[in-house]
Chains A and B, each alone.
Chain A
Amino acid sequence: MYNYKHYCKNLHKYIHIVDVCFFTVSQEQIKNLYQRFQQLSGNHEKISRDDLERIPALNNNPIRKQIITAFFDKRNQHQNDVGSLDEIGFEQFLMVMSHFRPVNSTATEEEKVTVRKQKLRFLFNMHDTDNDGIITLDEYRTVVEELLSQSGAIETEVARSIADAAMLEVASTNVPHMAPDDFYEGITFEHFEQILKGIEMESRMSIRFLDMNTATMRCGKLSS
């Protein structure tokens, strides 16, 4: 059972997030998420990393560390802040979840582009662990290694070569003519967008849960 009073008290705050996040969601869904939040936090106001790590279903997920980190990453809170938090409250939880909203079919092109950028930004932040704005080769290698980590004894060589090949592909698509002495620093956000433009992020990266019974409460511009 969740703290109904607390919820009602803060509902206006949550709806404010909704507005800010351009989040088409219904009150019903906020309530469901709040319930889940309470469940995870053991009825406290904030959740910590341990709370998330205790979810049993996540054990089979090869990238669970990255996912959990993403929740505590300040960059995903739309506040131009860096670093990571130790605990997050429901507002921040909602903020992170808002990255997974599906796009309304009535949205304009501009809105779609914004949403897409936001989702890609989330992914980018997940890869760019040292927050220097580029995904270096090492970081990318880590990504691939983590992806393959659950598949048994895979030699790191393979993961490295996959990551190298992928990096090469990014470089050749984005900066086709490099002199042999040039050094490609890493994948910037623009390049990242470029290589993933084949995947329709707006529809792929969304959870259906957030789509049911949408009362469109959109207003305001995205402040990102």
Chain B
Amino acid sequence: LSATTCAGSGCLPVFLEGSVFTVAVASSDQHSPITAHSGSHKATDHGSHNNTGKAFPVLDLNYENVRVPFEISLWVLLASLMKLGFHLVPHLSNIVPESCLLIVVGLLVGGIIRGTGETVPPVLDSKLFFYILLPPIILDAGYFLPIRPFMENLGTILIFAVVGTLWNAFFVGGLLYGVCQIGTESSSILSRIGLLQCLLFGSIISAVDPVAVLAVFEEIHINELLHILVFGESLLNDAVTVVLYHLFEEFSGIGSVTLLKGFLGVISFFVVALGGVLVGVLYGILAAFTSRFTSHTRVIEPLFVFLYSYMAYLSAEIFHLSGIMALIACGAVMRPYVEANISHKSHTTIKYFLKMWSSVSETLIFIFLGVATVAGPHDWNWTFVTVTVILCLVARVIGVVGLTFIINKFRIVKLTTKDQFIIAYGGLRGAIAFSLGFLLNKEHFPEREIFLTAIITVIFFTVFVQGMTIKPLVELLAVKKKQEAKRSINEEIHTQFLDHLLTGIEDICGHYGHHHWKDKLNRFNKKYVKKCLIAGERSKEPQLIAFYHKMEMKQAIQLVESGGGIKMPSAVPSTVSMQNIQPRPSTKPAPERAIPQLSKNKEEEIRKILRTNLQRTRQRLRSYNRHTLVADPYEDGLSDLFLKKQKMFQIEKKLKEMNTYLTVPAPPPDSPTMCRARLASDPQAYSIKPASNKVPMIQVDLASPQSPDSVNLLDEFGQANQQEEEEQGLMMKPPSRPREAKKPSEEDEAKDQQRLMRCLSDPGPSADEDEDGAFLP
């Protein structure tokens, strides 16, 4: 594996810089199976070469043509196999975070390469890292960023990101310079490191790394607030890092600092940050607008999302703006509108692809970190390295504590000491620091190797020591964990209610707070922006209704997935149904359950039909992990089902006049039930003839608690079908007619809703927090 992967040095950067084409062209001229390249070990001569009359080579070997793609694929394959392997080993992933294991693997691979005498390729080349490996991770994070907690804590996050990083950079850089000057003899190499170089080093090492944070925090499942604080900080400090880096690099090159330049530096910070966000927002709006017209070419919808985001990143990089912020802004802005426009399949595709790419990227980054460590070049200096590590820790702690003290004055929900500890401890450094160090110019920075060694040591320290111990510490300190948030409809109603209430109170007080502006933004969004960017009628659907439909859909799908007659496992087993809630008409003495009793045979037949056409139970993933996806309800088989349901819908429309069979005690021979049974066995059209314009019903047994199989499935089919067509995206029209029977009797209405609500009596599925919620909830 290793011998072939790293033949020669710089195989991957070669690919990027375009010279692979020259290599390929050169080798295609040769017909000889022997490659002249020094690295190839597999050069064998297949005999025919020596004959003057060249025979046609039956078996030829030309490795050079495929070398680069081949090696890239091998690396990716290695990464993926490692990921597989870790989860096969029991208990390993509980103790050691994945990132540590991957770095160890990288070390091993690097070691093997070294051992075989090859030069280790500089795989963590900055171009590869910044243009290929980093964007998927950031896009994944940005697209699924939980907007509401992010916005609510934006002030705190910004203060940590900007002020915290600045503090760290200057503290570490300054003190390091002091130590170098004072603590060592004047002839040692350390004393030759200038202040600017130290400050530059400080700015590189002080930025909290989003990749490392994501990798570690994913596994510890802490509560949302802490997660968003540390993660948000790691994303937003990119602007600061970019500015500081370029600033100090400029200054080191030129050699002199003036006040004007310092002032320009401050200005450039705002330009970088806001410019990055602006670029991202622009591309986000473009993407949203494009998605409005994609209803006829659903297949390439995901591509637009990826392309626009990547372009946003690259465009920002052209102007030295913050690419990360552009990417985040683009993803966050486009998401609510795009999701309203695209089909469900596209949405799934986007989700899958983003998760896949970011997963692979992350794995590769850590492996490469390990390989790059072996590659060197290193210059170990005990003083420098240890001082750096200690200073980083101290700076982080002081920074967090100090800033929290100030921030808590403005927060309603204060940050406790435990929170502060986790925030400080969670400030991990990662591959971004290494890549930035790698980018340093050797001429301006003769001490580049010392820097690189120190950076790697800090990275190792944070990832290994802090990464491994944070999980037990979280347990020990009993930090609040992430709740399995099952967003119930009551909570949703009341969240909205509270929003309006607080806005109203603020208006009465005359106080233009936070709710007031949020409300204004919401209204602006609804009035103008949504109309522009969302196709068709979906732009008008209020959030509560969207939420409700989503919930209904999820439950319908769950019901289908559980394969028919099996009772849904619900958190709160309950026999409550709609019947219990509906106010009883006072004239009736007691509600009669005028449920037609189907004979057992019919029941069985119907159930069998259902089972043969439905999917098996799927295991639902309980907690949300960035690398796993919630069970996707839309398997291929199910789409067929939906098509059939559409047919059903059309038939139903034609059968509006049919009476409900509910009033009939037992199904007569030609009842809809029988027709249905006959039809259903017809493989061509699994279309249920509904008994009325209402929801089709296969009513097995309504409300009897004794029969555990009393689940009505097709009710949900009808509902879901009427509400959703394949091509309609995630928003649904409100169910209009079908709920009302033509001549509703009170009973029927109650029964009807009961039928529907029976399914809803099971508390909702775990709300996928990354797909819930509109842009401005």
Please determine whether B576 and A168 come into contact, CB atoms closer than 8 angstroms. Answer: yes
Roughly how many angstroms separate A169 CA and B490 CA in the complex, as a whole number?
Answer: 8
Interface residues in A77-103 by Cβ distance below 8 A to B read 97, 100, 102
The answer, yes or no, to whether A18 is at the interface (CB within 8 Å) is no
Give the shortest distance, in Å, between A135 (CB) and chain B (any CB): 11
The answer, yes or no, to whether B745 is at the interface (CB within 8 Å) is no
Give the shortest distance, in Å, between A128 (CB) and chain B (any CB): 14
Residues of A within 8 A of B763 (CB): 169, 172-173
Residues of A within 8 A of B403 (CB): none
The answer, yes or no, to whether B414 is at the interface (CB within 8 Å) is yes
Interface 9-mer from A8-16, A19-27, A59-67, A109-117: A59-67
The answer, yes or no, to whether B591 is at the interface (CB within 8 Å) is yes
Other-chain residue from B503, B504, B575, B581 in contact with A179 (beta carbon distance below 8 A): B575
The answer, yes or no, to whether B540 is at the interface (CB within 8 Å) is yes
Give the A interface residue count (CB, 8 A): 69
Given contacts A154-B542, A165-B548, contact A180 B575 (CB under 8 A): yes
Interface residues in B239-260 by Cβ distance below 8 A to A read none
Roughly how many angstroms separate A171 CA and B572 CA in the complex, as a whole number?
Answer: 11
Please determine whether A209 and B734 come into contact, CB atoms closer than 8 angstroms. Answer: no
Residues of B within 8 A of A180 (CB): 575, 577, 579-580, 593, 703-705
Residues of B within 8 A of A182 (CB): 580
Task: Mark interface residues in A192-218 (1 if CB within 8 Å of B CB, else 0).
Answer: 000110111001111111010000000
Give the shortest distance, in Å, between A94 (CB) and chain B (any CB): 11
Residues of B within 8 A of A144 (CB): 493, 544
Interface residues in A51-70 by Cβ distance below 8 A to B read 52, 55, 57-58, 60-64, 67
Interface 9-mer from B189-197, B376-384, B735-743: B735-743
Task: Mark interface residues in B396-421 (1 if CB within 8 Å of A CB, else 0).
Answer: 00000000000010001110000000
Please determine whether A170 and B490 come into contact, CB atoms closer than 8 angstroms. Answer: yes
Please determine whether A168 and B761 come into contact, CB atoms closer than 8 angstroms. Answer: yes
Please determine whether A162 and B489 come into contact, CB atoms closer than 8 angstroms. Answer: yes
The answer, yes or no, to whether B286 is at the interface (CB within 8 Å) is no
Interface 9-mer from B263-271, B423-431, B432-440, B582-590: B582-590
Residue of A with least CB distance to B590: A181
Residues of A within 8 A of B608 (CB): none
The answer, yes or no, to whether A223 is at the interface (CB within 8 Å) is no
Interface 9-mer from B3-11, B178-186, B506-514: B506-514
In this complex, the member of B412, B494, B506, B703 whose beta carbon has the largest number of chain A beta carbons within 10 angstroms is B494
Roughly how many angstroms separate A200 CA and B480 CA in the complex, as a whole number?
Answer: 14
Residues of A within 8 A of B494 (CB): 123, 196, 199
Other-chain residue from A126, A155, A204 in contact with B736 (beta carbon distance below 8 A): A155
Residues of B within 8 A of A123 (CB): 494, 497-498, 501
Please determine whether A148 and B542 come into contact, CB atoms closer than 8 angstroms. Answer: yes
Give the shortest distance, in Å, between A7 (CB) and chain B (any CB): 17
The answer, yes or no, to whether A151 is at the interface (CB within 8 Å) is yes
Roughly how many angstroms separate A199 CA and B488 CA in the complex, as a whole number?
Answer: 11
Other-chain residue from B510, B576, B761 in contact with A36 (beta carbon distance below 8 A): B510
Give the shortest distance, in Å, between B266 (CB) and chain A (any CB): 29
The answer, yes or no, to whether B505 is at the interface (CB within 8 Å) is yes
Residues of A within 8 A of B551 (CB): 165
Residues of B within 8 A of A176 (CB): 572-576
Roughly how many angstroms separate A147 CA and B412 CA in the complex, as a whole number?
Answer: 26
The answer, yes or no, to whether A131 is at the interface (CB within 8 Å) is no
The answer, yes or no, to whether B578 is at the interface (CB within 8 Å) is yes
In this complex, the member of A33, A36, A171 whose beta carbon has the largest number of chain B beta carbons within 10 angstroms is A171
The answer, yes or no, to whether B282 is at the interface (CB within 8 Å) is no
Given contacts A60-B523, A162-B548, A199-B494, contact A177 B574 (CB under 8 A): yes
Please determine whether B575 and A177 come into contact, CB atoms closer than 8 angstroms. Answer: yes
The answer, yes or no, to whether A152 is at the interface (CB within 8 Å) is yes
Residues of B within 8 A of A126 (CB): 501
Roughly how many angstroms separate A144 CA and B516 CA in the complex, as a whole number?
Answer: 22
Please determine whether A195 and B488 come into contact, CB atoms closer than 8 angstroms. Answer: yes
Give the shortest distance, in Å, between A29 (CB) and chain B (any CB): 10
Please determine whether B511 and A207 come into contact, CB atoms closer than 8 angstroms. Answer: yes
The answer, yes or no, to whether B609 is at the interface (CB within 8 Å) is no
In this complex, the member of B498, B541, B576 whose beta carbon has the largest number of chain A beta carbons within 10 angstroms is B576
Interface residues in B499-535 by Cβ distance below 8 A to A read 500-511, 513-514, 516, 519, 523
Give the shortest distance, in Å, between A203 (CB) and chain B (any CB): 5
Roughly how many angstroms separate A147 CA and B501 CA in the complex, as a whole number?
Answer: 10
Other-chain residue from B408, B490, B502 in contact with A207 (beta carbon distance below 8 A): B502
Residues of B within 8 A of A169 (CB): 488-490, 760, 763
Task: Mark interface residues in B10-48 (1 if CB within 8 Å of A CB, else 0).
Answer: 000000000000000000000000000000000000000
Given contacts A180-B704, A181-B590, contact A63 B501 (CB under 8 A): yes
The answer, yes or no, to whether A143 is at the interface (CB within 8 Å) is yes
Interface residues in B584-617 by Cβ distance below 8 A to A read 584, 590-591, 593
Other-chain residue from B485, B545, B705 in contact with A162 (beta carbon distance below 8 A): B545
Other-chain residue from B493, B508, B545 in contact with A67 (beta carbon distance below 8 A): B508
Given contacts A55-B507, A151-B540, A204-B498, contact A157 B740 (CB under 8 A): yes
Other-chain residue from B505, B548, B581 in contact with A171 (beta carbon distance below 8 A): B581
Please determine whether A63 and B509 come into contact, CB atoms closer than 8 angstroms. Answer: no
Task: Mark interface residues in A26-53 (1 if CB within 8 Å of B CB, else 0).
Answer: 0000000100100110000000000010
Residue of B with least CB distance to A33: B509
The answer, yes or no, to whether A137 is at the interface (CB within 8 Å) is yes
Please determine whether B739 and A39 come into contact, CB atoms closer than 8 angstroms. Answer: no
Roughly how many angstroms separate A28 CA and B705 CA in the complex, as a whole number?
Answer: 61
Interface residues in B447-498 by Cβ distance below 8 A to A read 483, 485, 488-491, 493-498
Please determine whether A137 and B504 come into contact, CB atoms closer than 8 angstroms. Answer: no
Please determine whether B493 and A151 come into contact, CB atoms closer than 8 angstroms. Answer: no
Residues of A within 8 A of B728 (CB): none
Residues of A within 8 A of B541 (CB): 151
The answer, yes or no, to whether A166 is at the interface (CB within 8 Å) is yes
Please determine whether A154 and B740 come into contact, CB atoms closer than 8 angstroms. Answer: no
Please determine whether B510 and A105 come into contact, CB atoms closer than 8 angstroms. Answer: no
Please determine whether A206 and B576 come into contact, CB atoms closer than 8 angstroms. Answer: no
Residues of A within 8 A of B496 (CB): 147
Please determine whether B544 and A162 come into contact, CB atoms closer than 8 angstroms. Answer: yes
Give the shortest distance, in Å, between B475 (CB) and chain A (any CB): 23
Please determine whether B505 and A207 come into contact, CB atoms closer than 8 angstroms. Answer: yes
The answer, yes or no, to whether B662 is at the interface (CB within 8 Å) is no
The answer, yes or no, to whether B757 is at the interface (CB within 8 Å) is yes
Give the shortest distance, in Å, between A122 (CB) and chain B (any CB): 9
Give the shortest distance, in Å, between B417 (CB) and chain A (any CB): 12
The answer, yes or no, to whether B562 is at the interface (CB within 8 Å) is no
Residue of A with least CB distance to B702: A180
Other-chain residue from A62, A100, A207 in contact with B500 (beta carbon distance below 8 A): A62
Please determine whether A157 and B734 come into contact, CB atoms closer than 8 angstroms. Answer: yes
Roughly how many angstroms separate A172 CA and B760 CA in the complex, as a whole number?
Answer: 10
Give the shortest distance, in Å, between A115 (CB) and chain B (any CB): 13
The answer, yes or no, to whether B753 is at the interface (CB within 8 Å) is yes
Other-chain residue from A33, A152, A172 in contact with B761 (beta carbon distance below 8 A): A172
Please determine whether A39 and B510 come into contact, CB atoms closer than 8 angstroms. Answer: yes
Task: Mark interface residues in A136-161 (1 if CB within 8 Å of B CB, else 0).
Answer: 11100001100110011011011001
Residues of A within 8 A of B548 (CB): 158, 161-162, 165
Given contacts A161-B753, A176-B576, contact A67 B581 (CB under 8 A): no
Other-chain residue from A138, A147, A181 in contact with B544 (beta carbon distance below 8 A): A147
Residues of A within 8 A of B705 (CB): 179-180
Please determine whether A161 and B502 come into contact, CB atoms closer than 8 angstroms. Answer: no
Q: Beyond A60-B519, A157-B736, A177-B576: 10 further Cβ-contacts under 8 Å? A: A39-B510, A52-B508, A126-B501, A147-B544, A158-B735, A169-B760, A172-B763, A195-B491, A203-B412, A209-B509
A-B pairs with beta carbons under 8 Å apart, 8 shown:
A63-B500, A102-B412, A105-B414, A151-B540, A154-B734, A158-B735, A168-B761, A180-B705
| The 3 nearest A-B residue pairs measured at CB | A172-B574, A151-B542, A57-B507
Interface residues of B (CB under 8 A from A): 408, 412-414, 483, 485, 488-491, 493-498, 500-511, 513-514, 516, 519, 523, 540-542, 544-545, 548, 551-552, 572-584, 590-591, 593, 703-705, 734-736, 739-740, 753, 756-757, 760-763
